[in-house]
Amino acid sequence: MTRPDDPAIPAVPDRPATAPERPAGIAPRATARRSPATARRVPAGPVTALPPHHRDPRERAVDPSGVDPDTAARAAWTLLALLPGAACLATAGALRITEGVLGDGARALVTVVGALLACLALRACLAHGPLRAPGGTGRAGLYACWLLSYAVYGEGLLDQVMTGGPDGWWGGDPAPLLGLAVAVAPAAGCAHIFTLRAHRERAGSRTPEEFGAGVRPLLLAAALFLGALLPLLHLADRALGGGGTGFAAVALGLLFFLARLLAAHGLPEPGAVALAAACAVEAAAPALALSARLPGLEPVAQPVNALVSVGGTGAAGALACGTAALGLLLYAPPAPSRALARTHPRT
C-alpha cells in the first residue's frame, strides 16, 4: 500500500469547501459573451450620437465647490445678450441729452462710438451662449451689415430715387436698429428654450427621422421671439419719434433669428443664402428705379413703382426680408433631422 507521503504521488492541495468571498466593490465576471447576432437583436436606444451643440448641458460635471457651471454659464451669456441693447440705449440717451448742446461733428462722434460699442457687444454675445455658431458668421456678417444699413437708410434712399434724386444726404431712421439691438436678449432666451426642448425630444427618439419630427413644433420659438420683438420695436419707434413700426423691421428681426438659430445648430448655409437673397432684392429696388432713367428702360421700374404705390418705400425691405424669413420657416422644420442624420447615419 502506497503511503500518502510517497514521492511517486504528486501532492494535491486541499480545496476549500466553499469559494472565497469576492472583495467588495469588484463585480463578478461574465460567464458568457453575447454573440454578435444577440447583440444585434438588442433594441436601439435613444439617439446619443449628437453634435456638441445638441448635448444636454446638464450632462456636464458639477464644480466641487458646489457651484453649478451651467447656471454660471447661463448668467454669463444672459449678461452678454443685454449689452448690445444697453449700448444702443446709452447712445440714444446721450444724443437726446446733448441735442442743441453739441455740434454736428460731436454728435456724429457720439454716434460712431456708440455704434462701435454695440458691434463689439454683439460680437461677444454671438460668441457665447445659445446664439453661438460653431463655424462663426462668415459671409452672413457682411449680409447682416447691409440689411441693418438698409433698415436705417434704405427708405430714405428709395424715396429720393423715386422722386428724381438723390439730392444730397438723406435722413435715416435709427428706431429699427435700437429695437433689434434690444431684442438680442429675448432672441438668446428663445434659442435657449428651443435647445432645451430639442434635448427632451432627443431623449425619446430612436432615429434621426423621429428626432426631426419631434422638434418641428419647437419652431414656435419664432412666435415667442416675435411676441417680444413687436413691442420692443414699437417702444423704440416711440422713443425716437419715428413714423411707426414697419413690417420691414419685424421681418428683418425674424430673418436674423431664424438664420442664427440654424447656424447655432450646425446649418449656417441656409441662413446665409436667405440673407444674401434679401440683400439682392433690397439692392435691386433703387437700381431698377435708376435704370429706368435710361432711354428705352422705363418699363424696368414698373415693379418697383407698383410696390411703392401699394406699400410705400418700406415695402421693398418688407418683401425682401419677409420672403427670406418665410423660406427659412419652410426649411427649418426638417433641418435638425438632416443635421442629425449626418452625425448618426443608418447602419
CB atoms within 10 A of CB 16: 7
DSSP 275-329: HHHHHHHHHHHHHHHHHTTSTT-GGGGHHHHHHHHHH-TTHHHHHHHHHHHHHHH
The residue segments making up the domain with residue 277 are: 139-331
Is 309 part of a structural domain of the chain? Answer: yes
CA distance 138 to 268: 9
pTM of the model: 0.75
Among residues 316, 326, 347, 75, which one has the least CA distance to residue 207?
A: 347
Instruction: Round to whole Å and give the CA distance between 324 and 222.
Output: 14
In a 3-state reduction of DSSP, which class is residue 137? coil
Report CA Rg, the chain: 31
> Is 282 inside any structural domain?
yes
Q: Is there a domain that residue 311 lies in?
A: yes
User: Is 180 part of a structural domain of the chain?
Assistant: yes
- Note the pLDDT of residue 71: 85
CA torsion, ordered 245, 217, 259, 250, to nearest 10 deg? 0
- Let me know if residue 231 belongs to a domain: yes
For residue 205, the model assigns a pLDDT of 58
Q: Mean pLDDT in runs of 10 for the chain (347 residues)?
A: 48 48 48 44 43 47 57 88 93 87 84 91 90 80 92 89 80 89 94 80 58 58 92 91 83 94 87 94 92 88 90 91 91 56 41
Lookup: cell for 130: 445659445
- Give how many domains the chain has, as a whole number: 1
- Non-local (6+) Cβ contacts of 223 within 8 A are none
